[in-house]
Amino acid sequence: MSVLDRFQNVFKIPELKRRVLFTLGILVVYRIGGHVPSPGIDAHALGEYLTAQSAGIFALYDMFTGGALGRATVFALGIMPYISASIIIQLMGATVPYFQRLQKEGEEGRQKINRLTRYGTLLICAGQSAGMSVWLQGLQTPSGYLVVPNPGLGFMLLTMLSFTTGTIFIMWLGEQITDRGIGNGISLIIYVGIIAIFPVAVIQEITLVAAQNKTLIELLLTFILMFVVTMGAVLLTQGVRKIPVQYAKRVVGRKVYGGQSTHIPLRINTAGVIPIIFAQALMFIPQTLFTFFPNSAFFANAQNWFSYQHPVYWLFYGTLIVFFAFFYTAVVFNPVDLAENMKKYGGFIPGIRPGKKTAEYVERVLGRVTFPGALGLAALSVLPYMLVRYFNLSVSMTDFFGGTGLLIIVGVALDTLQQMESHLMMRHYEGFTRSGKIRGRVGRG
């Protein structure tokens, strides 16, 4: 059976067909909304300004919004305020006792966390939209046009209302996909926004060839390298280290519990794309500070060192990614809690004493697994900038081909395919793979 026949099986199951079509319909609504202009902003002037500032943080933000920021639409903030609120709540769950209690309260605690995440999203939207309205009013294109022709308090309030409402609506669309569609709605919305860049990137590459700025052989090598790096991203996303676990038999009344053999899957890349996001945020700080000293020769040289195509930037950027990979893994994965839960239910690792020794063993293995994963994550993130410098890769292609975008694309695609495969297997249809199963991601990272 071919891959096409396997995808045709999706539409033979009424429930799965309904979920897939519902998801596609919601994503179409999202893409249409990404073209609804926000009032008071000259979209052409903003596009001209962002083109001139293509290497800044707003270009990265524009990638996550699917180009909505560059078009000055009501979806300009995208879903990133929700992602930021979720990360903050998750970090507080590892440090604040109140959130730690909520995480242990089951479904009721999860609902409270979701409600707090929505409130946090609203606050972040209000702050970001207010800051963006002030920022937009001060922008002027190189040709002398104002991005906001009629600035003032009225524009600020209208922009805050438009951007905040747009993000809340996107959040609602994502929740609808999660509840009634297939896959994780928020992840799919980010996925579609990044995928939308791919046709533009391909056109730019073809334009470079047509203008004789790149040869056909270089273009072919670019796509071959893309394929190889994508395979590496799949391995980085799917790779796990399995620690065997044995559960002792327990007799309760007339029933015997336990006696099972299982394993603890330690992912190579437990932190997901979070280290890249944190590292990028920090690397924008020196670039921003250097702009305040335009007449200083030292800061001019330093600004050159921290440009995207300089080895000094690659070194600092890669080091930060490795650091945050270990930091975030330590936040989201607690070997002590794992060891206590295993001991509580009679589980043990063969050859390792339960309790403290188990926690130390898991922590040691986790460190050894995380290190190559962190190095792979850093290499995947720095590689696009090297390609821009040495292989004349277009900027749009680096947005699609970069570490953050590529890992999100690979992770979301595998997660969605895994859910579709589960529906097929439950109804005795052949899955997408000839042998084995597609392993989805653990969590949102």
Q: What letter represents residue 425's amino acid?
A: M
Looking at residue 332, its pLDDT comes to 81
Q: Are residues 95 and 230 in the same domain?
A: no
Q: Are residues 235 and 97 in the same domain?
A: no
* Domain annotation covers residue 65: yes
Q: Are residues 184 and 226 in the same domain?
A: no
Which structural domain range is residue 376 located in?
207-401
* Domain annotation covers residue 443: no
Looking at residue 104, its pLDDT comes to 79
Structure tokens that stand for 189 in this block: 């919305």
As a whole number of Å, the CA-based R_g of the chain is 24
> Rounded to an integer, what distance in angstroms lies between the CA atom of residue 114 and that of residue 120?
10
Q: Are residues 140 and 253 in the same domain?
A: no
- Residues of the chain below pLDDT 70: 1-6, 51-64, 250-259, 281, 287-288, 290-295, 299, 391-403, 427-445
**111-170 pLDDT, tens per residue?**
898 899 999 999 999 988 888 888 888 877 777 788 888 888 999 999 999 999 999 999
Q: Are residues 224 and 273 in the same domain?
A: yes
* Domain annotation covers residue 428: no
Structure tokens that stand for 278 in this block: 């944190």
> Rounded to an integer, what distance in angstroms lies between the CA atom of residue 82 and that of residue 175?
12
Q: Are residues 154 and 222 in the same domain?
A: no
Q: Are residues 164 and 39 in the same domain?
A: yes
φ, ψ (nearest 5 deg) of residue 147? -70, -35
Q: Are 38 and 73 in contact (CB under 8 A)?
A: yes
φ, ψ (nearest 5 deg) of residue 389? -75, -40
Q: Number of structural domains, the chain?
A: 2
- E strand segments, 36-75: none
DSSP state string for 153-193: HHHHHHHHHHHHHHHHHHHHHHHHHHHHSSS-HHHHHHHHH
Looking at residue 436, its pLDDT comes to 53
Looking at residue 323, its pLDDT comes to 92
Q: Which residues contact 161 (CB under 8 A, 6 or more apart)?
A: none
Looking at residue 445, its pLDDT comes to 39
Q: For residue 133, what is the domain's CATH number?
A: 1.10.3370.10
Looking at residue 132, its pLDDT comes to 84
Q: Are residues 67 and 187 in the same domain?
A: yes
Q: Which of 143, 175, 195 is the last residue of a domain?
A: 195
Write b or e for each residue in 390-400: b if 16 or more Cβ atoms lie within 10 A of its Cβ, otherwise e.
eeebbebbbbb
* Domain annotation covers residue 422: no
Q: Are residues 184 and 313 in the same domain?
A: no
* Domain annotation covers residue 50: yes
* Domain annotation covers residue 423: no
Q: Are residues 188 and 241 in the same domain?
A: no
Structure tokens that stand for 202 in this block: 């391909």
Sign of CA dihedral 214, 220, 225, 231: positive
Q: Are residues 189 and 216 in the same domain?
A: no
Q: What letter represents residue 107's amino acid?
A: E
Q: Are 393 and 308 in contact (CB under 8 A)?
A: no
* Domain annotation covers residue 410: no
Q: Are residues 162 and 220 in the same domain?
A: no
How far is C-alpha 180 from the chain's CA centre?
Answer: 22
Looking at residue 51, its pLDDT comes to 67
First to last CA, the chain: 34
Maximum alpha-carbon separation in the chain:
84
